[in-house]
Structure 1
Amino acid sequence: MHIQEWLETVPAVSVYLLVGVVIGLESVGIPLPGEIVLVSAAILAATQDHINPVVLGACASAGAIFGDSIGYLIGRKGGQPLLQWAGRKFPKHFGPDHVAMAEAKFDKWGMWAVFFGRFVALLRIFAGPLAGVLKMPYWKFLIANVLGGIVWAGGTTALIYSVGIVAESWLKRFSWLGLVAALLFGAGSFLLMKYRAKKAAAAREAAQAPVTATVD
């Protein structure tokens, strides 16, 4: 069976559920490739008539909003022990210096930290639980969460879908290349953000390290 014919047999409901569940779990705090799944699904919507991009965007937004809310509640209930556990499991991201910096960012930016965190791969995983641990008022979190989820999920879906429609004839002929390109793009962006976060953390640690003078 040609891959184009196989893609046409994939139920739209399965695609909607997959996108919503993966993005929801990622937003709770589980490191899953939500962005890759969303980009791939948006390309499918552009090449397959039975997948509605509006429904896809709505499912992605719902997954992001509900997942972040659950993550917030977990962080709110777990409190500092949750941060300590995360510090042991992910010392490069949840060490004492990183937590102190995050608290300062949340104190300074508040709702905007949650909103813009949706657009950064690593922050997308931890923004909800961290906001709960830091006791951000839920109404503020909810507003930033809803707006960020809709703008990120809906905007990504609309952008990738529009690009796919423009190149529809090419994608329909070489649909597997489009899927591979989407996966590579999503994986590349995730690895780039992870590399930049690691580089920034190393720079902060170097700046905070005590300077020892040598005596001849």
Structure 2
Amino acid sequence: MHVDEWLQAIPPLWICALVGLVIGLESLGIPLPGEIVLVSSALLAAQGVVNPLWVGICASVGAIVGDSIGYAIGRKGGKPMFDRLGRRFPKHFGPSHIAKAERYFERYGMWTVFFGRFVALLRILAGPLAGALRMPYWRFLTANVLGGIAWAGGTTAVVYYLGRVAEKWLKGFSWAGLVLAVLFGVVTTLLVKRRAARMAAQEAEEPAGAA
């Protein structure tokens, strides 16, 4: 069963609560599919199953609260905590992941927390790592609140309105139009992934060049 099918079996109020909970736990530092749950819930909102405003509010609150708890945990546990997590969960907290996230913090500071919302790796690490690196809390909180609202609220709004437009569009076009839309989406995704891979390669080359 897909996530959206599973969500449809849940009452609307519980969908909003679940969105906030999953995103909050992910922001706290637990690897969960927060973005998938958010997008699926926004699509359900486009179908009239749940109110999009409450999806966005719950997602934003979950993101902000989860990141704040993650910050407190990271501040208390410090970098040794990431060493322990790296040994237990190398796929998500391995030395290479932590080192890459630290480079982002060194280069961009509080903007890492803001834009980290839009990157899967940083969405998990931003809060705890900001605490471990002793980022001033007021700077973290500012970036956390703005980033949480921009990512959670923005994603909900974009997916909701795209879903509404797509539903009307598909009613007036043939299956050929649907196929073209899918192909366009696949090509766009591949181009974005290629661009991301290039950026990752450049990030990897910079430390080597500096050495």
TM range (shorter): 0.7 to 0.9
Q: Which structure has the larger Rg?
A: 1
Paired AA for residue 208 in structure 2? A
Report % sequence identity.
60
SS at match of 1:17: helix
Give the total of aligned pairs: 189
Q: Is the deviation greater in 146-155 or in 104-113?
A: 104-113
**Unaligned runs of at least 5 residues, structure 2:** 1-5, 172-181
Spell out, residue by residue over 1:16-42, the C-alpha distance to the aligned partner (whole angstroms, 9 max, x if none).
011001101100111111000000000
CA apart distance, 1:168? 2.8
CA apart distance, 1:109? 1.6
SS at match of 1:167: helix
CA apart distance, 1:205? 9.9
Question: Does residue 163 of the first structure (1) align with residue 162 of the second (2)?
Answer: yes
**Unaligned runs of at least 5 residues, structure 1:** 1-5, 173-180, 211-216
Matched residue, 1:67: 66
CA distance in structure 2 between the partners assigned to 1:29 and 1:106 by the alignment: 16
CA apart distance, 1:98? 5.3
Paired AA for residue 74 in structure 2? G
Matched residue, 1:57: 56
Paired AA for residue 158 in structure 1? A
Change (3 A) 1:202 1:120: closer
CA apart distance, 1:196? 4.1
Change (3 A) 1:132 1:7: closer
Change (3 A) 1:92 1:169: closer
Question: Does residue 103 of the first structure (1) align with residue 102 of the second (2)?
Answer: yes
What is the aligned-residue RMSD (CA, Å)? 3.5
Check the 8 A contact 2:7/2:15 in 1, yes or no: no
Check the 8 A contact 1:117/1:123 in 2, yes or no: yes
Check the 8 A contact 2:15/2:41 in 1, yes or no: yes
Spell out, residue by residue over 1:77-115, the C-alpha distance to the aligned partner (whole angstroms, 9 max, x if none).
0012112113323277541x6545543432332110110
TM normalised by structure 2 equals 0.75
Question: Does residue 143 of the first structure (1) align with residue 142 of the second (2)?
Answer: yes
If asked which structure has higher relative contact order (CA below 8 Å, sep 6+), I would say: 1
